[in-house]
Structure 1
Amino acid sequence: MLRKFVILRPNREIKRFLRRCLQTASTEEHVSVPPNANSPLSVYMSRVHDGLLDEDEYQKTIVASLDRLNEQVKDYQPPVKPNGFFQKLFGEKKIESPKGLYLYGSVGCGKTMLMDLFHDQCPIQGKQRVHFHKFMLDVHQRIHAWKQSLPRERDVKKLQTYDPIPPVADSISNQTWLLCFDEFQVTDIADAMILKRLFTELSVQEWSHCEVKCLDSGIDYRMTSLPKEGTIYFMMGESECDEKVDEVFEELIADEDDVIHSKTLEILGRDLRLPKTCGRVLDATFNSLCAQPLGAIDYLEISKHFDSVIVRNIPKMTLKHKSEAKRFIVLVDTFYDNKVRLVCSAEATPNELFTRGKVTLREEDMNRMLMDDLGLKADSTDSNTSIFTGEEELFAFERTVSRLTEMQTDAYWNSRETQAPS
């Protein structure tokens, strides 16, 4: 079986979950490797010298680890899976695979930037940089495709004995042996159950053993940027808020060779109707995008068709509105990852949009049912994990606040290149 390794950047509770699933290795120190001209460290220092980055000693220690990993993987070749009789009989030759790097830290400390720096400089094929939401969509599609491939005449009762996770793990392993995994955030219980099985299977295949590093210098670099000269985040309590958003819409569509009209996107056989669009500009409401049963695949499709999106009437949210808050988190994550320009009108500033609030009896009952499904006891350690307490959503929203702030800057606003209409 091919050996793999991975770079992950999870958040809080998922760190403990993945450490169990991935059997994380110890964090012993390695001998440092001098950087070459195209190494992550040399590129990092070049950007510091050019004033593109602030020199951060904390970040430099992580970049040094990425340099070591870059040296280890550039000449590494995964072993070929045995397929002949004698190969299977005697087994494959053991080849020591490099350890991956498992990064974690507070929002805005540079995890994504450093991971992209490593991915871009790593001179190998078989590498993939993927966001969590895209990865989960791909996993669900692979599971669906595997189920569709089963013979039609098979007894339905016997289907329960066929497990899609091992073949899905095989298919991932056959395509990618270096996976740069961004924004590992699990707030959905179904995804958590799938991931536990999937990463356990990949771990059995010796796919991932990771060195753990904390990147937490205490600085949120997104918050150090200045907002745009023109306002693109509007407070609903202020006078003429709707009129001001209308003006932004008119400015955005001024260069579009189109008229205002509705648009329908076909997504996996269903229609997503968007009432107000013009060229590559979408004008929508929070209720239409986040109070409806939409998900990452919908926001990804919107990102393909629109460079700028207006989201109006974003309300304050508590754990009572956890579903809407999750969708808004995914929406911002997806738009941010695809450099979509976002204009908002909201009831509160970004850091006041989501609070814990009070947990209702109904929500407590739902948590207990989920614990029963997972075989957890109410007084166990796992019953206090963030997926039940709401801590994961609260932490995820901290990232959303940070990203909303960066998305208001000129640097972000100008980062998305104009794309031709799909």
Structure 2
Amino acid sequence: MATITHLSETKPNVSIEELLAGFHPSYRFGEVSFNTYRPDPSQPSQTEAVNKLKAFAETVGKKDSGSFLTKLFGKKKETKNGIYLDGGFGVGKTHLLASLWHAAPGRKAFGTFVEYTNLVGALSFRQTVDVLSQYSLVCIDEFELDDPGDTVLMSRLMRELSDAGVKLAATSNTLPGALGEGRFAAVDFQREIKTLSEQFDVHRVEGEDFRHRGLPDAPVPLEDQQIEGFAEERYPNKTLAVDHFDQLVAHLSQVHPSRYRQLLSETDALVLHNVDTITDQAIALRFVVLADRLYDKDVPIIASGKPFSELFTPEMMSGGYQKKYYRAVSRLTALAREGQIGEPAI
């Protein structure tokens, strides 16, 4: 018999140690390595990326004779303190970044851009710097440019970590020198972006860009009275989180996003009653973080109401945060297909 819980009634208490313990590759990349990455023979930049990251891994934990300030005012070094992978969706950047994390020695952190900004929100900027300065490597996946304040924050965080001798590795779909181009014209922001780009050895990973695939079809939502019985039959002896969509959305505003991973720690599948379109941007962005944590943990979803393709308004899907919303819809749709038709979410 399935165990029933309710996320909307769960208030996770997470210590600093527990927060930091979550900064590792998700289960999808829990055992990857450079050997499990299969570069496309027609795309030499993929093999080059593997070789560069292998060489970079060997520098992790070794004393660096040039700090960030030295780079700015002293003699230029041949080797930079960070490496940056740019490329389209589906070329394996996260696989490569996780492989670097597994290969590098010492204490290390792996998280998305959003997870690091949430960590700063939970601990404070200074405490985050103090904690992460004890690491040998900090990996930042999916560097985002939706908010100039967050980007400046992360740039300053990385600058201080680099000055403390921490090696940095990042991925994004935009070259660091072009971050914010055509988006934010503030002088301070542009200065931070230039400083950020100077910290990294940039490598472009070429390959098929899966952004042009379009979203997979969302499964037809089930009738509301069917979903709990359907879930219990499909996932016997599992822990099911059963929630009404509006109650879950309201609860998320009371839980810091840095705790969403812990919120889902006991959940094997999510049963959502009456999914509806989110019209408030702050609420929508919180749900994006939840979608990422659900996807990281591979939590199948069984839902009634509207399909996830209608979760966000058309204005949101075409606005400044469209990349986040597109990713969230794609991931939630994949989890719904897994929950309702048994198709593995990839």
TM-score, normalization by structure 2: 0.62
Contact 1:299 1:331 in 2 (8 A): yes
Distance 2:115 2:152 in 1: 17
Corresponding residue for residue 63 of structure 2: 79
Give the secondary-structure state (helix, strand or coil) at the position aligned to 1:124. Answer: coil
Q: CA deviation at 1:331?
A: 0.9
Is 1:130 matched with 2:115? no
Contact 1:63 1:114 in 2 (8 A): no
Contact 2:309 2:333 in 1 (8 A): no
Between the aligned residues of both structures, percent identity stands at 23
Once the two structures are superposed, what CA deviation does each residue of 1:386-417 show, in whole Å capped at 9, x if it has no partner? xxx9834211111112223432345646x9xx
Corresponding residue for residue 18 of structure 2: none
Is 1:396 matched with 2:328? no
Corresponding residue for residue 61 of structure 1: 45
Give the secondary-structure state (helix, strand or coil) at the position aligned to 1:198. Answer: helix
Contact 1:299 1:335 in 2 (8 A): no
Corresponding residue for residue 284 of structure 2: 325
Distance change (3 Å), C-alpha of 1:393 and 1:321: same
CA RMSD in angstroms comes to: 4.1
Candidates 243, 262, 267, aligned match of 1:306: 267
Distance change (3 Å), C-alpha of 1:333 and 1:216: farther
Distance change (3 Å), C-alpha of 1:406 and 1:99: farther
Matches within 5 A, 1:228-307: 233-235=219-221, 241-252=223-234, 254-256=236-238, 280-292=239-251, 293=253, 294-307=255-268
Aligned residues: 270
Candidates 78, 81, 84, aligned match of 1:102: 84
Q: CA deviation at 1:215?
A: 4.8
Range with greater deviation from structure 2 (202-211 or 65-74): 202-211
Once the two structures are superposed, what CA deviation does each residue of 1:86-127 show, in whole Å capped at 9, x if it has no partner? xxxxxxx9986555332344444533233223433x242233
Contact 2:46 2:206 in 1 (8 A): yes
Q: CA deviation at 1:62?
A: 2.8
Once the two structures are superposed, what CA deviation does each residue of 1:64-86 show, in whole Å capped at 9, x if it has no partner? 213222124325542289xxxxx
Give the secondary-structure state (helix, strand or coil) at the position aligned to 2:138. Answer: strand
In structure 2, give the amino acid aligned to 1:248. Answer: F
Is 1:174 matched with 2:122? no
Corresponding residue for residue 111 of structure 1: 93
Q: CA deviation at 1:217?
A: 1.8
Give the secondary-structure state (helix, strand or coil) at the position aligned to 1:217. Answer: coil
Q: CA deviation at 1:353?
A: 3.2
Q: Could you tell me which runs of 5 or more consecutive residues in structure 2 were left unpaired when the two chains were aligned.
A: 1-31, 66-74, 167-198
Contact 1:310 1:343 in 2 (8 A): yes
Range with greater deviation from structure 2 (241-250 or 70-79): 70-79
Q: Could you tell me which runs of 5 or more consecutive residues in structure 1 were left unpaired when the two chains were aligned.
A: 1-37, 49-54, 82-92, 144-163, 257-279, 359-388, 416-422
Distance 2:133 2:331 in 1: 32
Corresponding residue for residue 43 of structure 1: 36
Distance change (3 Å), C-alpha of 1:308 and 1:186: farther
Q: CA deviation at 1:284?
A: 0.9
Distance 1:285 1:108 in 2: 34
Distance change (3 Å), C-alpha of 1:193 and 1:133: same
Give the secondary-structure state (helix, strand or coil) at the position aligned to 2:321. Answer: helix
Once the two structures are superposed, what CA deviation does each residue of 1:122-142 show, in whole Å capped at 9, x if it has no partner? 242233322334433433344
TM-score, normalization by structure 1: 0.52
Distance change (3 Å), C-alpha of 1:406 and 1:352: same
Give the secondary-structure state (helix, strand or coil) at the position aligned to 1:357. Answer: helix
Distance 2:224 2:89 in 1: 31
Give the secondary-structure state (helix, strand or coil) at the position aligned to 1:291. Answer: helix
Q: CA deviation at 1:299?
A: 2.2
In structure 2, give the amino acid aligned to 1:309. Answer: L
Contact 1:351 1:398 in 2 (8 A): no
Matches within 5 A, 1:142-181: 142-143=123-124, 165=126, 168-176=128-136, 178-181=137-140
Distance 1:206 1:342 in 2: 42
Corresponding residue for residue 213 of structure 1: 204
Give the secondary-structure state (helix, strand or coil) at the position aligned to 1:62. Answer: helix
